[in-house]
């Protein structure tokens, strides 16, 4: 049953439930019917007894009437389905109707005793295999004295016949009704679950290799909602898998370039004997490429550990203005070659909660980029201001800028703008992804505003340390 399909289970539950209801219904119907028939018989016996008793009383209890006269006076007594007996108060039959053909039916002790006390008695008697008979023993009294006991009886055969017909009908009809409704239930369950089958088939077609497929259903019901939820899930999977593939392709590409350069230069140098200066030059160039590769690998490692939640971020008070000042000093060194100046604009003393080491890395990355993408003799300006309950750190440059259509992607892994590629060869395209992760892990945000060819401004917003 557990392994059975929903269709089978629904049908079994449905059929089982209906069979149970039918059994209860059939039992109740049989009981009600037999009671009603019994009551009807008892009522008609009672009416006949009352009429007969009245006739006997009218004739002052004797001499006893002939039954035919009685029948004439009260036509209902002549009904062939009833017979009459009149007993003396001691219990012997004194008169009985001709339609008692089969046997004598003596008065029972209980009926006699009840009659002596003035009560009528209903009894059902059955002789061996014969049809049962319903009897009413009715006392006829004169004052307190019991004069006669009138008995009216009738065969229960019509009732039994009716009940057995009912049983026959129920025995045939109920299983038939159950069978018809089980078939109906199976048909309905099949119809209701058909869309599930088509969803299953569609889902089987969707593999990691082909996530472009979607489940087609327009039904606005539960199945339709299930299908659209699955479609959303597949779309998210498709995006993630595409990103993973893109990421692997980008990572291999970024690592291949320095490897190709290193290999090419080394092969070229080894082709013929060279002076020590040439070898030195080649080795220095190789070292630069090796540095770049190890930076990529380190940054990749950091991002994968961050993805896995393995990078720990301290939660300590950090004096952000001090950090900004220290990074500005470092930046002066970075820009020295190309005479890029890094200045402090408005810097407010602000404290945030976080990891000083990571926050320094974040600011340094932004300042490093600003210097890197500045033109000669450019200026990088750092500012730290309070806006509501956040500290806003801005790193502004007057460098190459970022085209509006490229701005949404610069925080993606390995993304580098064309302008940046032609401006500086080195660069991994991973720095801003790391910056974004650090800002977000401090419950902050990072944004860019930029004009192509004029400069960019990166703004990091971090929640301020609330005063204790
Ligand atoms: P990269 O190592 O290439 O600098 P980042 O992840 O730090 O990688 O930056 C991603 C890209 O964003 C850069 O390649 C560049 O195109 C763009 N970018 C970042 N900072 C600036 C900036 N200050 N000015 C112009 N473009 C920038």
Single out the residue of 285, 236, 233, 240 nearest to residue 263, CA to CA. 285
* Structural domains of the chain, ranges and CATH numbers in brackets: 6-161 (3.30.450.20), 222-307 (1.10.287.130), 316-463 (3.30.565.10)
What is the structure's pLDDT at 353? 96
What is the structure's pLDDT at 63? 46
- 428 CB-near residues (< 8 Å, 6+ apart): 254, 292, 295, 296, 299, 414
User: Which segments in the chain show pLDDT lower than 50?
Assistant: 61-64
Ligand 1 site-directed mutation target among 295, 373, 433, most atoms within 8 Å of CB: 373
pLDDT digits (tens, 9 = 90+) for 22-55: 999 999 999 999 999 999 999 989 988 888 888 7
Q: Please, what sign has the CA dihedral across residues 245, 249, 251, 252?
A: positive
Phi-psi region of 54 (alpha: psi -120 to 50; beta: other; left: phi over 0): alpha
Give the DSSP per-residue string, 201-235.
HHHHH--SS-----------SHHHHHHHHHHHHHH
What is the structure's pLDDT at 4? 67
Distance separating alpha carbons of residues 192 and 227, to the nearest angstrom: 14
What is the structure's pLDDT at 158? 86
436 lines ligand 1 (CB under 6 A): no
What is the structure's pLDDT at 370? 95
What is the structure's pLDDT at 3? 59
395 lines ligand 1 (CB under 6 A): no
In angstroms, what is the span from residue 427 Cα to ligand 1's centroid?
8
Distance separating alpha carbons of residues 106 and 122, to the nearest angstrom: 14
In angstroms, what is the span from residue 296 Cα to ligand 1's centroid?
15
Distance separating alpha carbons of residues 182 and 311, to the nearest angstrom: 60
In angstroms, what is the span from residue 219 Cα to ligand 1's centroid?
47
Supply the residue whose CA is at minimum distance from atom 20 of ligand 1: 369
Distance separating alpha carbons of residues 399 and 452, to the nearest angstrom: 9
Give the DSSP per-residue string, 312-356.
----EEEEHHHHHHHHHHHHHHHTTTTT-EEEEEEE---EEEE-H
Tokens of 372: 């890197």
What is the structure's pLDDT at 107? 85
Q: Length of the chain in residues, anyone?
A: 468
DSSP lists the bridge partners of residue 464 as 352
pLDDT digits (tens, 9 = 90+) for 183-221: 988 898 888 888 788 788 877 887 767 778 787 777 778
Distance separating alpha carbons of residues 102 and 107, to the nearest angstrom: 16
Report pTM.
0.60
DSSP lists the bridge partners of residue 354 as 316
What is the structure's pLDDT at 464? 95
What is the structure's pLDDT at 322? 96
What is the structure's pLDDT at 447? 97
DSSP lists the bridge partners of residue 316 as 354
């Amino acid at each position: 049953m557990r392994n059975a399909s929903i269709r089978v289970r629904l049908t079994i539950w449905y059929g089982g439930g209906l069979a149970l209801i039918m059994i209860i219904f059939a039992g109740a119907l049989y009981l009600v019917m037999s009671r009603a028939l019994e009551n009807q018989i008892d009522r008609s016996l009672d009416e006949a007894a009352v009429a007969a008793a009245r006739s006997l009383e009218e004739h002052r209890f004797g001499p006893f009437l002939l039954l035919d006269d009685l029948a004439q006076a009260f036509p209902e007594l002549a009904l062939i389905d009833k017979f009459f007996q009149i007993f003396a108060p001691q219990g012997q039959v004194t008169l009985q109707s001709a339609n008692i053909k089969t046997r004598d039916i003596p008065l029972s002790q209980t009926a006699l005793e009840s009659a002596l006390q003035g009560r009528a008695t209903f009894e059902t008697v059955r002789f061996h295999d014969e049809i049962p008979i319903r009897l009413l023993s009715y006392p006829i009294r004169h004052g307190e004295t019991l004069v006669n006991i009138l008995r009216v009886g009738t065969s229960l055969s019509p009732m039994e016949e009716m009940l057995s017909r009912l049983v026959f009908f129920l025995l045939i009809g109920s299983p038939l009704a159950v069978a018809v409704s089980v078939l109906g239930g199976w048909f309905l369950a099949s119809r209701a679950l058909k869309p599930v089958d088509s969803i299953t088939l569609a889902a089987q077609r969707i593999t990691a290799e082909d996530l472009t497929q979607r489940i087609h259903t327009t039904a606005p019901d539960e199945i339709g909602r299930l299908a659209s939820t699955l479609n959303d899930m597949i779309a998210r999977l498709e995006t993630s898998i595409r990103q993973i593939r893109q990421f692997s392709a980008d990572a291999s590409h970024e690592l291949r370039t320095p490897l190709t350069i290193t290999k090419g230069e080394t092969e070229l140098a080894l082709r013929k004997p060279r002076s020590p200066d040439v070898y030195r030059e080649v080795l220095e160039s190789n070292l630069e490429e090796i540095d770049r590769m190890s930076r990529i690998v380190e940054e990749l490692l950091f991002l994968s550990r961050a993805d896995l939640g393995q990078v720990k971020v301290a939660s300590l008070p950090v004096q952000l203005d001090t950090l900004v000042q220290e990074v500005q000093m470092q930046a002066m060194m970075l820009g020295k070659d190309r005479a890029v100046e890094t200045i402090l604009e408005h810097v407010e003393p602000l404290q945030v909660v976080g990891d000083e080491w990571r926050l320094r890395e974040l600011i340094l990355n932004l300042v490093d980029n600003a210097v890197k993408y500045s033109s000669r003799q450019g200026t990088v300006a750092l500012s730290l201001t309070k806006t509501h309950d956040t500290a806003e750190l801005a790193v502004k440059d007057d460098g190459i800028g970022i085209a509006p259509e490229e701005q949404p992607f610069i925080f993606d892994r390995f993304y580098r703008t064309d302008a940046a590629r032609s401006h500086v060869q080195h660069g991994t395209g991973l720095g801003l992804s790391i910056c974004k992760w650090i800002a977000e892990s401090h419950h902050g945000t990072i944004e860019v505003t930029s004009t192509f060819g004029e400069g960019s401004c990166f703004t990091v917003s971090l929640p301020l340390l609330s005063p204790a």
